[in-house]
């Protein structure tokens, strides 16, 4: 949900490598976040509701079966419920339910279907995965005259993850038309000694994810990109090229590019993937009032004076911070984030810390518009070299060492 400070970014490198869309696309490819927008329980779901969300993730949130299986023991271990008193304090009555948003985007033209891919008529490049990294590199390739096909189970699926960027970086990439909201600057608060915080005098923006994806799709279609819906089962390499298997059918290309993020489906890696995890719970909330300036966003608030004794001891070992996007005098996006931990901080604990924080700030939650559960692998491994299948984005270890954020997921 946030973009790293200038000292941690390399926009020129990203433009040179892929020349596309998102300030995080190559520098911060992360594809393992959970987002759950629910209208069941009220502000701050119960442990039981959250457990149901976790166990159903592979069916509803785009996880591969292998990922879901490997993560299930970790999620179960981290899902130890809080005490009944804490759970009760986390429940609130719901306001009127908001209609569910569509999960599929509408674009102005049909997706062109594959016209090539036979053994005697291969594509120059086959890209597996239509996230920002896959779409960006595919568009760059077709603009340079290559025949390119891209494969994804649902190319029109909405990107769910909230994302913020520094305005000048997105402007440099040509996407100033994809801002949803902007702020004149940001603030970092370290402790109670300086409650006004450290000003970051650099405009910041929230990305309109739907607009960005529609723009990338329509531009790529105009440049000649062709699409195939489906899941790639495997890749085989031959002297004259490569072939991927989709629903039992071979599709041939001279080169295969894996843009599937941390699903790690096609590229071979140097060693076992045993990362730490960044974890965050966020929500867009309607409140009675708040004290945040509407022209500034809170980049990080590390204060812990609001925590009870038990939580404060935990926070000394595994600190978390608050991230706030103020939308109006009565509407804000808030997120409690652990930068990295192994094992990760449970969502129930993050939610309870956020509850205590908002209470300490005197913010009364009236209703929740949507919620976001993020679980982000940090410290990935690199692909083996040499190998025939190339990687891009998260698959290639292009994960920002401090954030890992991206707008898509596996």
Condensed to tens digits (0 to 9), the pLDDT of residues 3-19 reads 433 333 333 333 333 33
φ and ψ of 362, to 5 deg: 75, 25
pLDDT of residue 49: 29
**CA 187, CA 302: separation in Å to the nearest integer?**
11
Q: Considering the chain, what percentage of its residues have pLDDT values greater than 70?
A: 72
Q: Mark out the alpha helices in 181-293 (DSSP H runs).
A: 209-223
Q: Region of 248 please: left (phi>0), alpha (psi -120 to 50) or beta.
A: left
The parts of the chain modelled with pLDDT lower than 50 are 1-99, 410
Helix axes 309-317, 347-360, angle to 10 degrees: 120
**CA 31, CA 374: separation in Å to the nearest integer?**
10
Q: Could you tell me if 132 and 28 are in contact, meaning their C-beta atoms sit under 8 angstroms apart? A: no
pLDDT of residue 401: 59
pLDDT of residue 394: 81
pLDDT of residue 1: 42
pTM: 0.74
Short-list 174, 165, 159, 268, CA closest to 214:
159
Helix axes 132-143, 209-223, angle to 10 degrees: 30
Condensed to tens digits (0 to 9), the pLDDT of residues 275-317 reads 888 899 999 999 999 999 999 999 999 999 999 999 999 999 9
pLDDT of residue 402: 61
pLDDT of residue 23: 30
pLDDT of residue 270: 85
pLDDT of residue 319: 97
Q: Could you tell me if 391 and 14 are in contact, meaning their C-beta atoms sit under 8 angstroms apart? A: no
Structure tokens at 29: 């490819």
């Amino acid at each position: 949900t946030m973009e790293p400070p200038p000292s941690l970014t390399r926009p020129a490198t990203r433009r040179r490598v892929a020349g596309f869309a998102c300030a995080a696309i190559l520098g911060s490819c992360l594809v393992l976040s959970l987002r759950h927008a629910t209208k069941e329980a009220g502000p701050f779901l119960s442990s039981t509701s959250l457990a149901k969300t976790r166990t159903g993730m592979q069916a509803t949130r785009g996880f591969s079966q292998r990922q879901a299986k490997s993560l299930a023991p970790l999620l179960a271990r981290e899902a130890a419920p809080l005490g009944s008193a804490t759970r009760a304090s986390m429940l609130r009555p719901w306001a009127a339910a908001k209609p569910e948003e569509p999960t599929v985007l509408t674009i102005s033209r049909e997706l062109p279907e594959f016209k090539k891919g036979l053994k005697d008529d291969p594509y120059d490049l086959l890209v597996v995965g239509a996230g920002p990294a896959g779409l960006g590199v595919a568009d760059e390739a077709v603009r340079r005259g290559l025949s390119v096909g891209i494969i994804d189970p649902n190319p029109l699926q909405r990107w769910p993850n909230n994302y913020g960027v520094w305005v000048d970086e997105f402007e440099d990439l040509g996407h100033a038309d994809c801002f949803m909201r902007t702020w004149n600057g940001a603030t970092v608060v370290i402790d109670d000694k300086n409650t006004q915080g450290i000003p970051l005098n650099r405009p910041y923006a929230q990305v309109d994810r739907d607009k960005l994806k529609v723009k990338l799709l329509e531009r790529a279609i105009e440049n000649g990109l062709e699409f195939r819906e489906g899941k790639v089962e495997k890749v085989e390499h031959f002297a004259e090229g490569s072939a991927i298997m989709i629903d039992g059918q071979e599709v041939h290309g001279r080169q295969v590019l894996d843009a599937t993020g941390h699903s790690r489906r096609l590229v071979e890696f140097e060693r076992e993937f045993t990362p730490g995890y960044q974890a965050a719970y966020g929500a867009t909330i309607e409140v009675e009032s708040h004290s945040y300036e509407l022209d500034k966003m809170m980049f990080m608030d590390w204060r812990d004076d609001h925590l009870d004794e038990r939580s404060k001891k935990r926070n000394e070992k595994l600190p978390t911070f608050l991230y706030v996007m103020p939308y109006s005098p009565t509407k804000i996006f808030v997120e409690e984030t652990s930068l990295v931990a192994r094992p990760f901080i449970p969502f129930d604990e993050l939610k309870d810390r956020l509850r205590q924080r908002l209470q300490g700030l005197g913010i009364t939650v009236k209703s929740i518009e949507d919620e976001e559960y993020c679980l982000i692998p940090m410290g990935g491994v690199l692909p083996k070299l040499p190998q025939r299948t190339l990687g891009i984005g998260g698959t290639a270890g292009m994960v920002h060492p401090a954030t890992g954020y991206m707008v898509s997921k596996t």
